[in-house]
Amino acid sequence: MPTLVGKEIGSTGFGLMGLTWRPEPVPQEQAFEAMKAALNNGMNFWNGGEFYGPPEYNSLVLLERYFAKYPEDAEKVVLSIKGGVGAVGREPDGSPENTRRTLDSCIAQLKGRKKIDIFEFARRDQNVPMKTTFDVVQKEYIDTGKIGGISLSEVRAETIHEAVKIIKVVGVEVELSLFSRHIFDNGVAEACAKYDIPIIAYSPIGRGWLSGTIKTIDDVQPQLRVWPWFQPPNFAINLELAGQVAALAKRKGVTPAQLAIAWTKRLSTWREGAPKTIIPIPGATTAARVTENAVLVELEDEEMAALDETLGKFPSAGERYPEGIPTNT
């Protein structure tokens, strides 16, 4: 089994974002059922965020309520939380003052029910030296046992090479799916392999493209409909790719999401320059979807080759984020 901060985790993790960061969050009991299903299926690495929803109902509020109801689950979960944006607005802020604010706020919101095993700054603050930020994290939070370790999020290769000289990096969270393969072209995967850093792969189902549920723009979550992937002509191209992946999944007797998650993991032994550990963290809002995503699927070399052939026909259609949202920091 893979490990993070010295703790064993399942080969598939669980992304919490969709439980609170949407115009109308799912009912709390439904969220609890999804979280419990994740644990029951071995998905004990959970990834949430301070800004995944408003302060009164973000990942941390949901987690505190869950662990209040199920205190026995706290030690079973390896928890990663993203933060580091300014208290006002969503700009990255790695200043010592905001570093203390974001960490203290996250810790306080959990009310002592669960330790944050891993903390991530959601984006690198280009205006503050990483050493300034990480010296505060190391001396005031890791060394004192308040959190377990630091992971990087949405960074470029140069940031990884710089960060490992300052602090122990326990993971690198990046977007990785059949729709987002950029880390194998921009040096990020190679950097993680060099330092034996696990990749935490968010959006492995391609922001819903590989769920099998998107046929028209009306099937896309409202907050995502203006994103480049879902705009013409990108929508038609991506819909065709999703259809071809679905056909391959049908031939194997699995769902498109299961195939997509399996492909992400298999890259660790298939793609040259990949790190040995890749942990996809699909999100889901129902216990049934969580259970579907947890099914372990093995892909043979011929199946990976077939997927490579399909992907070769589909260069990326649309940027991953709208203009103005920083990426590859």
pLDDT above 70 as % of the chain: 100
The pTM for the full model equals 0.96
pLDDT of residue 90: 77
Compute the mean pLDDT over every residue in the chain, rounded to the nearest whole number: 95
pLDDT of residue 324: 83
User: May I ask the CATH architecture of the domain 3-208+266-297?
Assistant: Alpha-Beta Barrel (3.20)
Six-digit token pair at 216? 């028209």
Enumerate the active-site residues: 52
Cα–Cα dist 262/210, whole Å:
12
SS3 at position 19: helix
8-17, 112-121, 217-226: least confident range? 217-226
Long-range contact set of residues 324-327: C-beta below 8 Å, sequence gap at least 24: 326/92, 326/123, 326/154, 327/154
For the chain, the domains span 3-208+266-297
Q: What is the pLDDT of residues 247-296, one digit of tens each?
A: 999 999 999 999 999 999 999 999 988 999 999 999 999 999 999 999 99
pLDDT of residue 62: 98
Q: What is the pLDDT of residues 22-75, one digit of tens each?
A: 889 999 999 999 999 999 999 999 999 999 999 999 999 999 999 999 999 999
229 band by pLDDT with thresholds 50, 70 and 90: confident
7-8 and 3-4 strand pairing: antiparallel
SS3 at position 173: strand
pLDDT of residue 27: 97
pLDDT above 90 as % of the chain: 84
